[in-house]
Chains A and B, each alone.
Chain A
Amino acid sequence: MKKLLTILLLCLVFSCAKKTEGEYLSETFLVTNYPSEYGEPIIPEDNLLTEERVALGRLLFNDPLLSIDTSRSCASCHKTEFAFADDVAISTGIENKLGLRNSPSLLNVAWQPNMFKDGGVPNLDRQAIVPIEDEFELGINMLELVERLQQHPEYPEMALVAYGRVLDAWVINRSLASYQRTLFSHDSPYDQYLAGNLDWSQELKTGEALFIAYCASCHAGVHLTTFGFANNGLYETYSDVGRARITNLPQDEGKFKIPSLRNLPLTAPYMHDGSLEDLESVLAHYSTGGKSHPNKSELVANIELSEEEQAQLLLFLEQLVDEKVVD
C-alpha cells in the first residue's frame, strides 16, 4: 500500500498560506499525477486531497471500530490482496450476515461518476454512510459512531488537522473518500503493451482484437468501462433489479453499472451477485450472447465466441493485473 501511495501522491507542490479557523488546519494539497488519458478524477473543491485527510481515511478504512461489534471494517470486504474486492460471492457483514451484492474492487474509484452497481448514491464523498449504517454490513448508527470515534486517542485531533473541524459524520465520510481516491491502478502488462514497452504474441493480439470487437463498446478505454448501465443478459428474471431499484423504470430492470475489468483475475467471483465463479464461466456466458431479456443490450446479443476464441480472450483478460496494487 505504501508503494501505491508513493506512486500516486507524487509531489507536494504548494502550501497554502491562508489560515482559517485555527492555525492547525493543514492546507498542503497533494498534487496527483495521473496519466492524462485517465482524465480528471472527481474531487470536490471542499475535499481536495491532503496527506492528513488520506492518512485519517486509511486508518478509518481499516478500523473495526467502524462496526457495531468491532468485528468488521471496510477492509473486511475490500481486501488489498483481491484488488480491494473480496474472493467470495457475497461478503459477510456483522454477525456473519449476508448482504445483497458482490463486493467490487475500489481501485480507480476516484473516476466513478456515481456509486454502487445501481448508481444510487451520487458520489464517493457521501458513500461511506451506506455500509456504516447498513444492518448487513457494519450496522452502526452514524451518530453513535461519531461519539465512539470522538473517544479515540488520535482521531479527534487528526480531524482538526485534516479538516479544521470537529470529528463528525462529514469528516468520517470525506476522509474515507480521500483515502479511496488514492487507490489507483494503471500498470498492467496490457498498459505496458499499449505504451510500446512490451511485445505481445500473435495469440495475445488476437485476444485483444476479439476484446475490441465484442467487449470494448461497454468495457471501453483505459478504464475498461463507459461507466454506463447495461443489461448483459445474465438472467431471464432478475431477483435484484439493479438500476431499476433506483429509477423505478421497467426499462432499467437488470441493468447494472458496467464494471472496469482492471485486475480482473484478482476479483473473482464475478457479476453483481458473484454468481460466475471464474473467467471461463464469464466467457461461456457471453459466448452465445447471454440469456434473453427484453432489456438485454444488442451488443451482448450479437456476441458469438468459439472455444478457441474464448481461450484467446481469456489469455488477454489475464494481462489486466497490476501487480503493484496487491503487495
Chain B
Amino acid sequence: MRLIEDIEIVEMKKLVVNFVAIIALLGMASCGDETAPSASLNFNLNVDGEDLIIGQTYNLGDPATLVDFEVAQFYISDVRLIDSDGVAFEVNGDFLISPGNTQISLGTIDAATYKTLEFGVGVDAVRNHEDPLELNESSVLSPQNPSMHWSWQNGYRFIRIDGKFDSDENNAIEESDEAFQLHIGNDAYFRTVQIPYDVEAFDGDQISLELKTDFAILVDYDVAANKVVHTSNPNEFFDGISSNIPAAFSR
C-alpha cells in the first residue's frame, strides 16, 4: 500500500499549493475593485410552463403525447453580456445544465447597462473535437454520467433528452412503455442564442439573470413516429428540430 500513500502525499501537496494560490488570487481580487457587480445565470427548465421534474409526466409533441423524462440536459457555452455600446463582457467556457444544476455563476462582471444576453447551446466547433480523456474530471467536457460525449462522431451531444412515451396509449407511463430519445449534436447544429435582456449592473449589485428553457419547444414533433432522434447527418427533419433551439430559451 506504500504506492497509494505516495500518491496521496503528492495530491496533498498539490492541494496545499492550490489553496495558497486561491487565497492569493482572492486577496488580489478584493484589493482591486471591491464592489464590482456579480452575476449568475439561472435556468428554469420547464415543459410548456410547468417545471420539468425527472420522472413526472407531461404532454408534448405533435400530436400531443404523454412522456416522462429520465435525462434532460444541455451544454451552454461562451456567455456574453452585451452593453448599450455594443461592448461585450464574456465568460468563456462550457456549462452543463440539468434539473440538478441550473445555475451558471458568471463571477464579477463589468458595471454597465446591458441590452443583450448571448450564449451558445452546445460546444463550439474547436472544443467539440478535443479529447475528453485529456480533461480533468472537474471539466464538464470530461466523461459524464449519463454520457454527453458522442464518441463515434468525436464530439458531444449538445442536448440530451431521454425518457419514455406512452407507447401503449393507456394514458400512463409504465416500465413497459417504450423509450424516446432526442440527442442533438454535430457542429452543423451548434446554435448561438441572443436574447434581449435589459439589465443595469451597478457596483455592489448581485444580479440574477433568469432564463426559461421550454422542452416542449425542443420536442415538438411526432414522438411515437420518431422514437430515437440522433442528429448525426443533417437532414430536413433535424434542421427543423435544431431551428427551434433559440425559441426554447426566453426570459
The segment out of B20-28, B92-100, B143-151 that lies at the interface is B143-151
Flag whether B234 is at the interface (Cβ < 8 A).
Answer: yes
Contacts across chains A and B counted by CB atoms under 8 Å: 75
Judging by beta carbons under 8 Å apart, are A122 and B154 in contact? yes
Contact code string A8-34 (vs B, CB < 8 Å = 1, else 0): 000000000000011110000000000
Q: Within the complex, what minimum Cβ distance (angstroms) separates B71 from chain A?
A: 12
Contact in complex: B7, A120 (CB < 8 Å): no
Consensus secondary structure, chain A interface: helix
* Given A21-B6, A141-B146: A169 in contact with B133 (beta carbons within 8 A): yes
| Cα(A134)–Cα(B143), bound, Å | 14
Q: Are A22 and B133 in contact (CB under 8 A)?
A: no
Q: Which residue of B lies closest to A46 (CB)?
A: B134
Chain A residues closer than 8 Å to B154, beta-carbon distance: 120-122, 246
Q: What chain B residues lie within 8 Å of A134 (beta carbons)?
A: 151-152
A141 to B137, CA, bound (A): 15
Contact residues on B (Cβ < 8 Å of other chain), bracket: 20 to 34
Contact of A160 among B7, B137, B147 (CB under 8 A): B7
| Chain A contacts for B232, CB-based, 8 A | 245
Neighbouring A residues of B142 by C-beta, 8 Å: 169
Contact with B along A121-163 (1 / 0, CB 8 A): 1100110011001100000011110000000000001001100
Of B3, B131, B145, B147, which contacts A126 at CB under 8 A?
B131
B153 at the interface (CB under 8 A from A): yes
**Option from B7, B145, B233, B234 in Cβ contact (under 8 Å) with A166:** B7
- A126: chain B residues at CB < 8 Å are 131-133, 151
Interface size on A, residues (CB 8 A): 32
Mark contacts of A147-189 with chain B using CB atoms, 8 A cut-off: 1 yes-contact digit, 0 otherwise: 0000000000100110000101110011000000000000000
Contacting A at CB under 8 A, from B104-150, are 129, 131-134, 137, 142-147, 149
Could you give 20 example pairs across A and B, Cβ below 8 Å? A24-B3, A24-B6, A121-B154, A125-B131, A126-B133, A126-B151, A130-B151, A130-B152, A133-B149, A134-B151, A144-B145, A166-B7, A170-B133, A170-B134, A241-B233, A245-B153, A245-B233, A246-B153, A248-B186, A248-B233
Instruction: Please list the residues of chain A having a beta carbon within 8 angstroms of any beta carbon in chain B.
Output: 21-24, 116, 120-122, 125-126, 129-130, 133-134, 141-144, 157, 160-161, 166, 168-170, 173-174, 241, 244-246, 248
Query: What 11 additional pairs, Cβ within 8 angstroms, besides A22-B3, A121-B154, A143-B144?
Result: A122-B129, A125-B133, A129-B143, A133-B147, A133-B149, A141-B146, A142-B147, A169-B143, A174-B133, A248-B188, A248-B233
